[in-house]
């Protein structure tokens, strides 16, 4: 037999010191204002716009910020560039609208924004920059192009590939610094076609080894001197010393597996013209 001594614990009264302290800390949040800066735009928010509910325990705030989700959705619709169709002037002067496909761009995470703004209110900060709250896709999950507002968000440093012209141009601060003929993905096989849209240079490597599977199922491993990847699926700029067909129609039936093949004599200068995270417009 085990005999236990009964003990009773009463809930804290509203007037108790711990409860009064929690009440005091929570009251500090009410009626506050914070500016949310998204690129060149500033949004004026209050506690009610940011914090749905809050608790204070063991010296720390815990927030529910679901109320901010709708506002962040509105801001993303107005300003975010991830998944956007960009208006773009091609090297030959034509105005086009790109497809919505691609990895270039940024969006604001409502969850991150909620935490940033709620913490700012708690700490008495007057403003928050959205840069810390953005995300992207592809190699750089923190987003690309935030703060770039020129040229519909593409900026003035970028690479362009014209599938029809089988040519690539490389721009630096608005000036074309190099251009080369390319052979893009094989049009006769949809899986090999170079994807249109706005991507970005994920990383550069020189030299490099390209590994993959050919259309017939065989594995390949090809050494290249220059490699700059721009899609998750493995498309990029590279020299192709093994290629013999450099005609303007090669891409129709004798193209690459999706990459932009460059002649070895052209590849070095083109590679050096590229910057990590810069946009690659393919149309």
User: What is the tens place of the pLDDT at every residue in 35-81?
Assistant: 999 999 999 999 999 999 999 998 999 999 999 999 999 999 999 99
What average pLDDT does the segment 144-169 reach? 97
Does the pLDDT value for residue 212 go beyond 90?
Answer: no
218 vs 70, more confident: 70
- Cβ neighbours, 10 Å, residue 36: 25
pLDDT tens digits along 68-110: 999 999 999 999 999 999 999 999 999 999 999 999 999 999 9
Q: What is the mean pLDDT of the chain?
A: 96
- pLDDT of amino acid 60: 94
- pLDDT of amino acid 30: 95
Q: Which domains does the chain have, with CATH numbers?
A: 17-150 (3.10.20), 156-282 (2.40.440.10)
What share of the chain in percent tops pLDDT 70? Answer: 100
Distance CA 260, CA 63 (A): 49
- Which CB contacts under 8 angstroms, 24+ apart, belong to 75-79? 75/38, 75/41, 75/43, 75/108, 75/130, 76/107, 76/108, 78/41, 79/38, 79/39, 79/41
Does the pLDDT value for residue 213 go beyond 90?
Answer: no
Q: How sure is the predictor about 217, in pLDDT bands with cuts at 50, 70 and 90?
A: confident
pLDDT tens digits along 22-32: 999 999 999 99
- pLDDT of amino acid 160: 98
- Nearest alpha carbon to residue 173 among 158, 192, 156, 151: 156
pTM, rounded to two decimals: 0.88
Does the pLDDT value for residue 220 go beyond 90?
Answer: no
What average pLDDT does the segment 257-265 reach? 97
217 vs 129, more confident: 129
Bridge partners (DSSP) of residue 53 are 64
């Amino acid at each position: 037999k085990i005999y236990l001594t009964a003990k009773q614990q009463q809930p804290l009264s509203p007037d108790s010191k711990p409860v009064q302290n929690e009440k005091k800390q929570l009251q500090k949040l009410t009626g506050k204002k914070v500016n949310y800066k998204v690129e060149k735009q500033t949004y004026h928010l209050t506690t009610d716009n940011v914090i749905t509910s809050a608790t204070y325990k063991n010296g720390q705030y815990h927030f529910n910020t679901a109320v901010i989700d709708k506002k962040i959705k509105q801001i993303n619709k107005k300003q975010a560039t991830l998944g956007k169709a960009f208006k773009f002037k091609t090297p030959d002067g034509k105005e086009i609208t790109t497809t919505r496909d691609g990895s270039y761009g940024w969006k604001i995470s409502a969850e991150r924004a909620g935490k940033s703004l709620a913490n700012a209110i708690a700490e008495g900060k007057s403003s928050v920059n959205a840069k810390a709250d953005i995300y992207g896709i592809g190699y750089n999950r923190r987003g690309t192009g935030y703060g770039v507002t020129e040229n519909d968000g593409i900026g003035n440093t970028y690479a362009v590939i014209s599938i029809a012209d089988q040519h690539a141009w490389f721009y630096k601060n608005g000036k074309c610094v190099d251009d080369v003929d390319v052979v893009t993905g094989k049009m006769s096989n949809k899986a090999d076609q170079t994807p249109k849209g706005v991507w970005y240079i994920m990383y550069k490597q020189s030299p490099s080894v390209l590994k993959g599977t050919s259309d017939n199922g065989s594995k390949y491993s090809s050494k290249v001197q220059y490699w700059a990847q721009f899609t998750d699926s493995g498309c990029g700029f590279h020299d192709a010393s093994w290629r013999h067909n450099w005609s303007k129609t090669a891409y129709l039936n004798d193209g690459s597996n999706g990459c932009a093949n460059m002649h070895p004599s052209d590849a070095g200068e083109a590679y050096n013209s590229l910057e990590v995270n810069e946009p690659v417009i393919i149309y």
